[in-house]
């Protein structure tokens, strides 16, 4: 099956074609290159996925006190995540009710009010309008017009992770996270006190490629032996790790060395060892004892298993950080990386985690720049019309469904990506996405 090539200028042709861009048959799974390059498809993704599903916007620890706020996006729509004077969390569209300017231009801060820079309209941190400048220019019933910073209809959080949904109704956040909640718990419980925080400080990078390149990559266990080969050799030259041992650990069969595709397009890469950029927590006896005392030795082994966890459509939970994907255009993406602190694990332990994070994921690191370069290579290559299909079939013949309904295969297989694109196709073609 070869659907018509969708040129960026064409409109009105996708509703009956978009489902054909993901094909699964006869042990093969393919996606069409148009999903990375077509502007109309990108626009549909913003409305049918980002404005219909639960989207991660912030961590509660980023706004711990009344008056604290941070800014984020839902798809391309700017929002403010604020904590009002009563401690309640709001997600407000960052758009003045007057002439449309954003009212908050800072990434993170503290304010009881937001003042529009264009004409001076003032809003409380719960979104209510305090007043308009030069009020005499408006009629007596101006205060009855209901003008304010509009609220995102639904806001819920789990284990400190704040999600928002532009859709007025739909499944609850707990229903949405049902399949991945156990892994979120394990990620949070790496803290002996069960609390992960996001201190001030983050780094952001931009790449000239589609947002789904980053979505696919974080749970791609296949590329490490090749894209990050130079870092493995650096570790070998420094005497830290043997490059052959790293490859062997990645290629080991079984023993918690899995890729998993979950419900709702979620997925994860799971290994006991061999995850580059991950601090070796198993080698710290004091920390192991803390976790064993807090949760028991059996659960300790589950918690210390290395995982990259993806929550569709925009959130990654890595061992060292929270990673947020921000689509900007069909060929432009921002990624925000927030290092985390494990409460109760000790200052030196968290410092060591941060140093390992900086070495592999930081702006001047050995790992993340490799991935960004690959995104550029891939975004360039998908423009070749003579080869329109991307193959995501690796491991289909050996994957299986476990008792939890998870699709499980070897850690170098592409079943997490297949789960992502099944969910992508669902939202792009279902009544939920069309509403």
Structure tokens at 313: 């459509």
Q: Is 180 helix (H, G, I), strand (E, B) or coil?
A: coil
Tell me if 92 sits within 8 A of 151, measured CB to CB.
yes
Report, at the CATH architecture level, how domain 58-158 is classified. Answer: 3-layer Sandwich (2.102)
Tell me if 84 sits within 8 A of 68, measured CB to CB.
no
Instruction: Compute the 3-state secondary structure of the chain and give helix, strand, coil in percent, each to the nearest 5.
Output: 35, 25, 40
Q: How many CB atoms lie within 10 A of CB 387?
A: 9
Q: Which of 291, 276, 271, 273 is nearest to 236 (CA)?
A: 276
For residue 158, list its beta bridge partners: 161
pLDDT at 4: 44
What is the spatial distance between Cα 388 and Cα 384, in angstroms, rounded to a whole number? 7
Question: Which string of DSSP letters, residue by residue, matches 358-420?
Answer: HHHHSTT-SSHHHHHHHHHHHHHHTT-TTS-EEE--TTTTT-EE-TTS-EEEETTS-HHHHHH
- Check residue 435 and report its DSSP letter: -
Write down the domain spans for the chain.
Answer: 58-158, 178-434
CA dihedral sign of residues 347, 348, 352, 355: positive
HSE toward the beta carbon, residue 256, CA cutoff 13 A: 14
pLDDT at 16: 67
pLDDT at 435: 53
pLDDT at 9: 40
**Chain mean position to CA 57:** 9
Residue-level pLDDT, tens digit, the chain, 435 residues:
444 444 444 344 466 689 999 999 988 999 999 999 999 999 999 999 999 999 999 999 999 999 999 999 999 999 999 999 999 999 999 999 999 999 999 999 999 999 999 999 999 999 999 999 889 899 988 888 999 999 999 999 999 999 999 999 999 999 999 999 999 999 999 999 999 999 988 999 999 999 999 999 999 999 988 888 888 888 888 887 777 777 776 677 666 889 999 999 999 999 887 677 888 898 899 999 999 999 999 999 999 999 999 999 999 999 999 999 999 999 999 999 999 999 999 999 999 999 999 999 988 898 899 999 999 999 999 999 999 999 999 999 999 999 999 999 999 999 999 999 999 999 999 766 555
Q: Tokens 């290994």 sit at which residue? A: 271
Helix (H) or strand (E) holding 285: helix 285-295
Phi-psi region of 70 (alpha: psi -120 to 50; beta: other; left: phi over 0): beta
What is the spatial distance between Cα 97 and Cα 158, in angstroms, rounded to a whole number? 31
What is the spatial distance between Cα 207 and Cα 203, in angstroms, rounded to a whole number? 14
Q: Tokens 């995102």 sit at which residue? A: 152
Q: Which of 172, 121, 167, 173 is nearest to 147 (CA)?
A: 121
Q: Is 433 helix (H, G, I), strand (E, B) or coil?
A: helix
Number of H helices, E strands in the chain: 14, 24
pLDDT at 28: 96
For residue 390, list its beta bridge partners: 31
Report, at the CATH architecture level, how domain 178-434 is classified. Answer: Alpha-Beta Complex (3.90)
pLDDT at 3: 43
pLDDT at 378: 96
pLDDT at 432: 62
pLDDT at 13: 46
Structure tokens at 371: 């991935």
pLDDT at 336: 97
What is the spatial distance between Cα 341 and Cα 320, in angstroms, rounded to a whole number? 8
């Amino acid at each position: 099956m070869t659907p018509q090539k969708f040129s960026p200028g064409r409109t009105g042709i996708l509703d009956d074609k978009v489902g054909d861009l993901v094909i699964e048959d006869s042990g093969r799974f393919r996606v069409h290159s148009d999903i990375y390059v077509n502007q109309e498809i990108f626009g549909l993704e913003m409305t049918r996925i980002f404005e219909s599903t639960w989207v991660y916007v912030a961590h509660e620890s980023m706004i711990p006190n009344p008056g604290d706020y941070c800014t984020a996006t839902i798809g391309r729509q700017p929002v403010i995540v604020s904590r009002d004077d009563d401690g309640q969390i709001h997600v407000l569209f960052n758009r003045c009710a007057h002439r449309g300017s954003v009212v908050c231009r800072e990434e993170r801060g503290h304010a009881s009010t937001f003042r529009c820079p264009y004409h001076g309209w003032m809003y409380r941190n719960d979104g209510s309008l305090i007043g308009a400048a030069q009020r005499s220019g408006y009629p007596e019933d101006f205060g009855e017009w209901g003008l304010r910073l509009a609220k995102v209809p639904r806001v819920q959080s789990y284990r400190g992770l704040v999600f928002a949904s532009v859709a007025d109704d739909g499944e609850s956040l707990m229903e949405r996270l049902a399949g991945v909640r156990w892994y979120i718990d394990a990620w949070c419980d790496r803290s002996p006190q069960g609390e992960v925080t996001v201190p001030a400080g983050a780094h952001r990078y931009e790449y000239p490629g589609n947002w789904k390149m980053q979505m696919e990559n974080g749970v791609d266990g296949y590329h490490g032996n090749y894209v990050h080969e130079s870092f493995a050799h650096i570790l070998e030259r420094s005497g830290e790790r043997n490059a052959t041992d790293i490859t062997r650990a990645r290629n080991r069969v079984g023993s918690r060395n899995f890729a998993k595709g979950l419900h709702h397009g979620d997925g994860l890469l799971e290994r006991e060892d061999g995850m580059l950029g991950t601090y070796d927590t198993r080698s710290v006896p004091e920390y192991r004892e803390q976790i064993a005392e807090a949760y028991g030795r059996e659960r300790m082994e589950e918690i210390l298993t290395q995982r990259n966890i993806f929550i569709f459509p925009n959130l990654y939970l890595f061992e060292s950080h929270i990673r947020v994907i921000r689509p900007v255009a069909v060929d432009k993406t921002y990624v925000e990386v927030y290092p985390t602190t494990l409460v109760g694990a000790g200052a030196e332990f968290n410092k060591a985690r941060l140093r390992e994070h900086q070495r592999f994921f930081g702006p001047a690191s050995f790992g993340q720049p490799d991935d960004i370069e690959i995104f550029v290579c891939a975004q360039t290559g998908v423009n070749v019309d003579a080869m329109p299909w991307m193959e995501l079939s690796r491991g289909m013949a050996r994957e299986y469904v476990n008792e939890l309904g998870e699709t499980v295969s070897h850690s170098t297989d592409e079943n997490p990506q297949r789960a992502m694109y099944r969910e992508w196709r669902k939202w792009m073609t279902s009544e939920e996405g069309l509403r």
